[in-house]
Structure 1
Amino acid sequence: MREIVFDTETTGFDPFNGDRLVEIGCVEVENFLPTGNVYHQYVNPERDMPEGAFKIHGLSEEFLKGYPTFAEIYAEFVDFVGDANLVAHNADFDMKFINYELSQVGHSEYPKTRAIDTLNMARRKFPGSPNTLDALCKRFSVDNSNRIKHGALLDAELLAEVYLELRGGRQRGLELDTAKKSAADTETVATKPRILREARPHAPSAEELLRHAEFVAKIGEEALWHKVKA
């Protein structure tokens, strides 16, 4: 099963009020495990960078001017995603920006049914607990020491590890490992010679029979052994 774990950085919170996408980071996963195939792109928003947004991701207007606009890179992004589902932390936010940018270049938007929200997954699994990406990394012992500022690709890579844990962890792969055993290995196990041992003697001794008879006599005629003999 192929899925795309992704994250975005933006100039703000609402594309319908003029905010724009400035970075996309995607990690391909198959059966919940990263394949090593990634997509990363900085995007020129063609506008200024608010100070609050800059403090979060550190991407300045001057830096982004050297990168293509979304209209110039959207085809590569769409091709990378393909028909896979999209996994994001607080997916409504990221999907809102992606779909807005797609609509501006005349491309069809991604339906909500293709989005998997790891924030909702975490809230259901750990109700009442902190469920930020940093908190989940700490909970699952995912190393996020390089996360000094928000970065789309780094956050997508961390989220891919968190997503795996939310889906059950690496023990999910044990069944796959078992299935990969070769026919030769199976044959070796099946044909391994068994060591047969002689049956151990278990007949009661004369002393044990005498003690048993004395015990039955104490019980009287209601003893089970009398009924069995009858």
Structure 2
Amino acid sequence: MRQVVLDTETTGIDPKQGHRIIEIGCVEMVGRKLTNRHFHVYINPQREVEEEAFNVHGIGDDFLADKPLFAAIAQDFLDFIKGAELVIHNAPFDVGHIDNEFSKLGNFPKVADVCTVFDSLAYARKKHPGQKNNLDALCKRYGIDNSHRELHGALLDSEILADVYLLMTGGQISMNGLGGADSDDYEAQLAVRRLSPDRPPLRVLRASDEELALHEERLDLIDKKSGLSLWRKLENPPLEHESD
């Protein structure tokens, strides 16, 4: 299954009041694994950014002045998300802005016509009723380090949301099997750290001749006490034409 975790930043809240998208950030997952493919662009909205919105994301008019218009990136963006399940925190907000931008161009579909949408905020509210479920609160709840997130940013937030989504929807979340988000020591169990794809390969430690000999002696003892050991049965399975 192909999923695209998506976030946008805008000039303000309501597209019906003329507000526009100024940043889109997407990361791709296939089979619940990040692929390192992403889509990220800043956009000239052809209008001023409201002060309240600027205080959230820190993206100003001067920075956006030389960025492409939405029309210039629309097809590439559509090609990236088409056919995927979109994972979005508070999906109606982002989808509403995207549909508004597509509608201005004509001959572009609505998001619902080309994608399915998973609203991670709605899911979090059902999973953790009566609790804060914004992205910062979920990072704290699931032990995700977001200390580098001083302001909102579409690509950074989509990367963080991907980690939140995988933990929130993944059942067992620790290698030691100590349970999930409802366990008392949950936060102590988790430490999410993304490894670099350029890291050196893991070192393979092979048994020495002495260790292999001791292993065979142990198998001989098992054979003597209880018949052929399971280990040797797995090492030497009977051929298909052999009878019992």
Which bin holds the TM-score, normalised by the shorter protein? Answer: 0.7 to 0.9
In the other structure, the counterpart of 1:70 is: 70
Quick check: 1:197 aligned with 2:225? yes
Q: Which aligned pairs between 1:139-158 and structure 2 lie closer than 5 A?
A: 139-158=141-160
Q: Which aligned pairs between 1:168-207 and structure 2 lie closer than 5 A?
A: 168=170, 195-197=223-225
The ranges of structure 1 where at least 4 consecutive aligned residues each deviate by more than 6 angstroms after the TM superposition are none
Tell me: higher relative CO, structure 1 or 2? Use CA pairs within 8 A at least 6 residues apart: 1
CA distance in 2, matches of 1:8, 1:172: 31
Structure 2 CA distance for partners of 1:197 and 1:172, relative to 1, 3 Å: same
Instruction: Give the conservation status (yes or no) of the 8 Å contact 2:167–2:173.
Output: no
Cα RMSD, aligned residues only: 2.2
Give secondary structure in 2 for the equivalent of 1:197: helix
CA distance in 2, matches of 1:25, 1:195: 61
Structure 2 CA distance for partners of 1:101 and 1:196, relative to 1, 3 Å: farther
CA distance in 2, matches of 1:60, 1:128: 35
In the other structure, the counterpart of 1:110 is: 111
Instruction: Give the conservation status (yes or no) of the 8 Å contact 1:99–1:109.
Output: yes
Q: Which aligned pairs between 1:11-22 and structure 2 lie closer than 5 A?
A: 11-22=11-22
Instruction: Give the conservation status (yes or no) of the 8 Å contact 1:164–1:170.
Output: no
- Supply the AA of the counterpart residue of 1:20: R
CA distance in 1, matches of 2:14, 2:224: 75
Q: Deviations over 1:57-102 (max 9, x none)?
A: 1111111011001001011111111210111000010000011101
Q: Deviations over 1:123-158 (max 9, x none)?
A: 111111110100001111111011100000000000
Instruction: Give the conservation status (yes or no) of the 8 Å contact 2:142–2:164.
Output: yes
Larger Rg: 1
In the other structure, the counterpart of 2:36 is: 36
TM-score calculated relative to the size of structure 2: 0.70
Instruction: Give the conservation status (yes or no) of the 8 Å contact 1:11–1:19.
Output: yes
Give secondary structure in 2 for the equivalent of 1:95: helix
In the other structure, the counterpart of 1:136 is: 138
In the other structure, the counterpart of 2:209 is: none
CA distance in 2, matches of 1:122, 1:53: 24
Instruction: Give the conservation status (yes or no) of the 8 Å contact 1:9–1:24.
Output: yes
In the other structure, the counterpart of 1:80 is: 80
CA distance in 2, matches of 1:198, 1:157: 54
CA distance in 2, matches of 1:123, 1:30: 25
- For structure 2, the residue ranges without an aligned partner over 5 or more in a row are 176-218, 228-244
CA distance in 2, matches of 1:128, 1:165: 20
The size of the alignment, in residue pairs, is 181
In the other structure, the counterpart of 2:100 is: 100
Percent identity at matched positions?
A: 46
- For structure 1, the residue ranges without an aligned partner over 5 or more in a row are 174-191, 200-230
